[in-house]
Each structure stands twice: as structure tokens, then as C-alpha cells.
Structure 1
Amino acid sequence: MKIGFIGTGNMGSAMMGGIISSGMVEATDVMATDIFQAALDRISDEFGVHTSTNNRDAVEFADIIFLAVKPQFLAKVVDGIKDMDFSDKLVVSIAAGQSLERLTGMFGKELKLIRVMPNTPALVGEGMSALSPNELVSEDEAATVLKLFEAFGQAEIIPERLQDAVVGISGSSPAYVYMFIEALADGAVAEGMPRTQAYKFAAQAVLGSAKMVLETGEHPGVLKDAVCSPGGTTIEAVAALEAAGFRSAVIEAERICIEKSRDL
């Protein structure tokens, strides 16, 4: 299996590094392309992959081609490769808001496509990715790509109609979580804790809480109740969050995010 990456930004690099580190693919079976030679030099030094400034080289080289570019650059990238033979290739796009139908239209022909929404925690091997294959992708092919994404976190295959919801719940939500961590730290700093230490306490509390949800299988409400002793400090804090509209603010932010994704 040979893989091509068109685009070597933060997400493309994270994906590449995770896949190579997993041992699923050797570095010599990977080619990366980018318009910036400096970016390619960095990738070559870090991972030892083949590089080129010509995107067509990646298509010729690979069985699976990752379009790891921002949505605003996708049409131009596709325009430069769409005349090539994709009959025995699989294309994976991580461009936000770009539907399978739109991608097919850009290529001007039917081909094997998988639309994916990853997120930035992939940079530390803890990404959450949602994959939506089109009808030409076989179950085995979809399973192979799923394993590639699991090399840098968790991944699920979902119907495409849920992709906009994924943007709200995992694609953009790291930013919401960072705001929460920052706010937690600010509260501790106000009480005299050094900021660096406050960030560590807050981030570890969020990390541990997330692991509790994933590893125990308990409903988040049950886990919350287990922390809230009768008449204790935690229930007072929870009451303050509820009074301030914490839940509704998160839900509304997610709703607006999803609407924006649909409009892309």
C-alpha cells in the first residue's frame, strides 16, 4: 500500500507521522507534495518520505491519496489532477464542509472517495475522526482507511448526513475545551496559584474526566453525581454553572458551528 499526501500542514503532518509510527506503512511508501519546498524539506527530514512540489507525482505514486488542504484551496488542487486516472485509486479528503457530491463534481467523474473530519488533537495522537465513504468504496477499503486514522486517535465510520454535526462536536470543540481549561486556570490564579501550575491542574482534570467517560462507559451525568456530595463544594459549583447557562451556551455554540459548516 502506497500513500500520497497533498498538503503538509499541521494536520497532514500529524496524520503522516501517526501512520508511519504505527508501522502500517513504511516511510518509503509515502509521498508528500506541497507548493513550499521548505515544508517538504522539513517533512523529508522528519519522516524520510518522498517529496515533490508537483501534486501529480503523488497521484501517480499512491494507491490512497489524502487531500490535506484547506477548503478554499481544494478546487484549485483538484483542478490540477482531475484529468488523471483514478480508476484504481482511493481519494480521502479532510477539507471541512466539502460534501462527497461536491468533491465528485470537482473531479468531473465518479471515483472512490472518503470524506473525513479529523481534529487537531491528532497532533498528539489523540484525534477523533469521522469517515464517510461513497458507494464506490468497498467495506475492506473503508476498513483500511479507518485503521490509518486510528493510528493517531479514534475514528468512526458515519453517514455523511452527520458530518456537519461532527464539526460541532469534535472538529471545532477542542477550542471550546481550551476555553474551559483557560477559565478553570484563571479561577485558580485568582486564588494565588501560579499560572503554569494552574494550567496543568486544569488540563489533567479534563483529561482524566474524559478518560472516565470513555473507559467506564458510565453516563456523564452519573459520573457528575458521583462527585457531588450532598451539601458539598461541587454541587454549589454545578449550581453556579447551571445558573450561568453553561449547558445552553455550549449547545448554542455547537449549533452555530454546525450551521456555519453547512454554509461552507
Structure 2
Amino acid sequence: MAAAGPNPQRVGFVGAGRMAQAIAQGLIRAGKVEAQQVLASAPTDRNLCHFQALGCQTTHSNQEVLQRCSLVIFATKPQVLQAVLTEVAPVVTAEHMLVSVAAGVSLRTLEELLPPKTRVFRVSPNLPCLVQEGAMVMARGLHAGNSEARLLQNLLEACGQCEEVPEAYVDIHTALGGSGVAFVCMFSEALAEGAIKMGMPSSLAHRIAAQTLLGTAKMLLQGGQHPAQLRTDVLTPAGTTIYGLHALEQGGLRAAAMSAVEAATCRAKELSRK
């Protein structure tokens, strides 16, 4: 009797680090997949224990994940992904849909390392996926169709916002959505330190700064406004905000932020070429 193929209701993870954990947690919490239908592999038990705590199945065999799951997310470090794909390629079938979240590894590279006509996707997530507020983009390979793209997008939206984009945008997202988390944290820290300088207790200042960022982001997303419009809504003639904005302009905040995204994008493109 022929061996059964991979289960289309299972979701597999090759690599069990923080991003894999975040995506798995989002899928399970949103009811997109049952915990026992998730199978994760890693060389050691160090990260697999987090999947086990969620109720997921685990293994040390990457090939087992492919043999048992039709949708597999590769969440390894970029420098080991080529070796992992070479290892699992013999068990890849036409039923598989393979997704890479490894930064800097192109769709073309994925397709060259896998059997012909394999359906592949490249996804760029970010750290807020850990709290189901991620900003993700996805790009499809040559052989992935609309139905597969819709399926993947629907699943990933359990972890936040997910939009399909041309692959050329992925490196830009790495800078904006990925590195941008660090940029926003630096700005939040600076806001709080300004309040601390003026006499507010540190813990209170940091809580208010973070909540201000959260509330502002929700207003921008839910209202569909351009940031400039919301900024204008806060202004009053000769008020506190315009004095503060003047100070930010004098400090070059806008140009510095644009340069940070540009620098991070250029570095992402450089790493992709390597």
C-alpha cells in the first residue's frame, strides 16, 4: 500500500525560534489551526519546549515535517537555510506549499534549491507578531497560485496585518517593519526621557510614551488618515505641540528617520545579494 501523503490540515515549522513560535501561537490563538495539528522541528529541545507548551507536536527530523505537513514554514537562520532545503528536497512533492521567513533569501534561490514547480512564498514578518500585532508582507514564487496566496494570507493575518507585495518590496519592509521596531523603540525611549528630564518618574513616563504610540497607531489604522492630518488635528495656534514640533524639525528628526530606513534597506539588499 502506498504511503500517505502530507496532511493538508497540518502546519509544519522547520526551525523553532521566536518568530516560528510567534506565528504558531497566533495561528492557534485565532483558531486557524489546532495545536496538535502543528509539527515543529529543531536540532535540539531548547526551543521545541515552547511548542510543546502550546500543545504542538515536535521532532528532530526536518524531513518528517515535510512528510506529515503540506504547508511548511521555514524559520531557520538565513545562513543554514540552503543546507536545510537541500536536505528536505527529496521529500518535497507537488502537494507542498513552502514558506520562507529567512531574511535575504530570494524566491529564485528557494526555487533553485527545490524540485521544479514547487510552490514557494517568501514572508517578511516582524517582532510584534509575538503579540498578534505584526506587520507582514508576502511575495509568491512563479508556481504559487491565487488560492495558495489567499490561504497563506488568511493564516498569517492571525498574527497581524499581512499584505501581498512584489518581491522588490520585501527588503524595504525588512527596514520599515523589521528594523522599524528598533527605530520606534528609540523614539519611545527618547519621549519618555524628555518627560523624565522634566520631573516625571521613569516607569510612568515609559508607560505613557508606549501607550501614546499604541493609541496613535490605532487611530491611523482605524481612521485611514494620513499622519499629517492627525498631526494637524493636535495643533493649536501658539500651543505646546507646535513648539515641540519646531524643536523636532530643528533636530532633524524627519530626515534622520528617512535616512535610517534608507540605510537599513540598502543593507538588506546587500545581504540579499550575498
Q: Is the 8 A contact 2:220 2:226 kept in 1?
A: yes
Letter in 2 for 1:123: L
Letter in 1 for 2:83: K
Q: Please list the CA deviations of residues 43-76 of structure 1 after superposition, one character each: whole Å capped at 9, or x if unmatched.
A: 21x2111110111110101010000112122112
Write the distance in 2 (CA, Å) between the matches of 1:195 and 1:117. Answer: 34
Residue 104 of structure 2 is aligned to residue 81 of structure 1: no
Q: Which is worse superposed, 107-116 or 157-166?
A: 107-116
Q: Please list the CA deviations of residues 115-161 of structure 1 after superposition, one character each: whole Å capped at 9, or x if unmatched.
A: 00000000011001101011311211111110111001110011111
In the superposition, relative to structure 1, how do residues 79 and 253 fare at CA in structure 2: closer, same or farther (>3 Å)?
same
- Aligned residue for 1:18, secondary structure, equals helix
Show structure 1 runs of 5+ residues with no match.
Answer: none
Q: Which is worse superposed, 234-243 or 33-42?
A: 33-42
User: Normalised by the size of structure 1, how large is the TM-score?
Assistant: 0.97
Q: Please list the CA deviations of residues 7-29 of structure 1 after superposition, one character each: whole Å capped at 9, or x if unmatched.
A: 11111001001101111111121
Equivalent of residue 19 in structure 1, options 27, 32, 40: 27
Residue 154 of structure 2 corresponds to 147
Residue 28 of structure 1 corresponds to 36
1:157-236 counterparts in 2 under 5 A? 157-236=164-243
Write the distance in 2 (CA, Å) between the matches of 1:159 and 1:134. Answer: 10
Count, aligned residues:
263
Residue 245 of structure 2 corresponds to 238
In the TM superposition, what is the alpha-carbon distance from 1:112 to its structure 2 partner?
A: 0.4
Equivalent of residue 10 in structure 1, options 8, 14, 18: 18
Show structure 2 runs of 5+ residues with no match.
Answer: 1-8
Q: Is the 8 A contact 2:21 2:50 kept in 1?
A: no
1:6-155 counterparts in 2 under 5 A? 6-44=14-52, 46-107=53-114, 109-155=116-162
Write the distance in 2 (CA, Å) between the matches of 1:241 and 1:106. Answer: 49
Write the distance in 2 (CA, Å) between the matches of 1:99 and 1:244. Answer: 38
In the TM superposition, what is the alpha-carbon distance from 1:166 to its structure 2 partner?
A: 1.1
Residue 3 of structure 2 corresponds to none
In the TM superposition, what is the alpha-carbon distance from 1:203 to its structure 2 partner?
A: 0.3
In the TM superposition, what is the alpha-carbon distance from 1:188 to its structure 2 partner?
A: 1.0
Letter in 2 for 1:25: V
Letter in 1 for 2:37: D
User: Normalised by the size of structure 2, how large is the TM-score?
Assistant: 0.93
Letter in 2 for 1:253: A
Letter in 2 for 1:161: A
Q: Which is worse superposed, 244-253 or 189-198?
A: 189-198
In the TM superposition, what is the alpha-carbon distance from 1:106 to its structure 2 partner?
A: 2.5
Write the distance in 2 (CA, Å) between the matches of 1:187 and 1:38. Answer: 40
Sequence identity (%):
36
Write the distance in 2 (CA, Å) between the matches of 1:167 and 1:85. Answer: 28
In the TM superposition, what is the alpha-carbon distance from 1:108 to its structure 2 partner?
A: 5.6
- Aligned residue for 2:88, secondary structure, equals coil
Letter in 2 for 1:41: C
Letter in 1 for 2:51: I
Letter in 2 for 1:150: E
- Aligned residue for 2:122, secondary structure, equals strand
Letter in 1 for 2:244: A
CA RMSD of aligned residues (A): 1.1
Q: Please list the CA deviations of residues 152-196 of structure 1 after superposition, one character each: whole Å capped at 9, or x if unmatched.
A: 111001111111111121121010000001001111111221111
